[in-house]
Each structure stands twice: as C-alpha cells, then as structure tokens.
Amino acid sequence: MGTGSGEPGQYNNFSSSVSPNNYLPTFLELNFPYGQEGQELVVIYDYYSSNSGPQRRGNLYTFVDGMWNAYESTIETSLQFGFDNGIWVPR
C-alpha cells in the first residue's frame, strides 16, 4: 500500500492523516474480487494516534453494487422546524 511519506506502509499503520478507507476498499477488491452482494468482512488494522499511541482497530466492509463499502457510524440528515401556534416545532 505504499511506503512513501503519507502512505500506510511508511510506518505499517493507518492514522488520521492516512485513512484506512482510502486504501482498504481497493485491498478488498484485489483480494476478494468475487464478492457477493451483501457479503460482509471485518478488517482489523493497526492505527496510530498522536493522542493515544498505537491501537488495533477494525471496521465492517460490505459488498454493495460491486464495491466494498466501509461502515459509517454517522449519517447526514437535516431537521426542519415550523412555527406552530407561537412555538417552534420539528417537522
């Protein structure tokens, strides 16, 4: 996965500046090219944080529409309010 500066192979780990989601889907595509729709794999990797030091982390990857996708724990959403009888209420 590259050994140059800013690549995971430089220190054999991922970090906030070297995101696993930029590399692991391609790794899975190369190593599991015949993924089936809905197939799931948990990938464990080394991660370094300047605050907490070396860690072992993992993430769930799911094969959807021909691609390996990382599990996202946050979703984008919006909340709208309306003014009803003098009170702001969610809609």
Asked whether residue 83 is domain-assigned, the answer is: no
The percent of the chain in helix, strand and coil, each rounded to the nearest 5, is 15, 40, 45
Confidence (pLDDT) at 2:
66
Asked whether residue 75 is domain-assigned, the answer is: no
Confidence (pLDDT) at 3:
65
77 vs 41, which has greater pLDDT?
41
Q: What is the pTM of this model?
A: 0.71
Asked whether residue 87 is domain-assigned, the answer is: no
Confidence (pLDDT) at 63:
96
Asked whether residue 1 is domain-assigned, the answer is: no
- Tens digit of pLDDT for each residue in 57-84? 999 999 999 999 999 887 788 888 898 9
Asked whether residue 24 is domain-assigned, the answer is: yes
Asked whether residue 77 is domain-assigned, the answer is: no
Which amino acid, 21? N
Into how many domains does the chain fold? Answer: 1
**Domain of residue 14, residue span:** 8-70
Give the pair of three-digit tokens for residue 10.
């430089």
Asked whether residue 78 is domain-assigned, the answer is: no
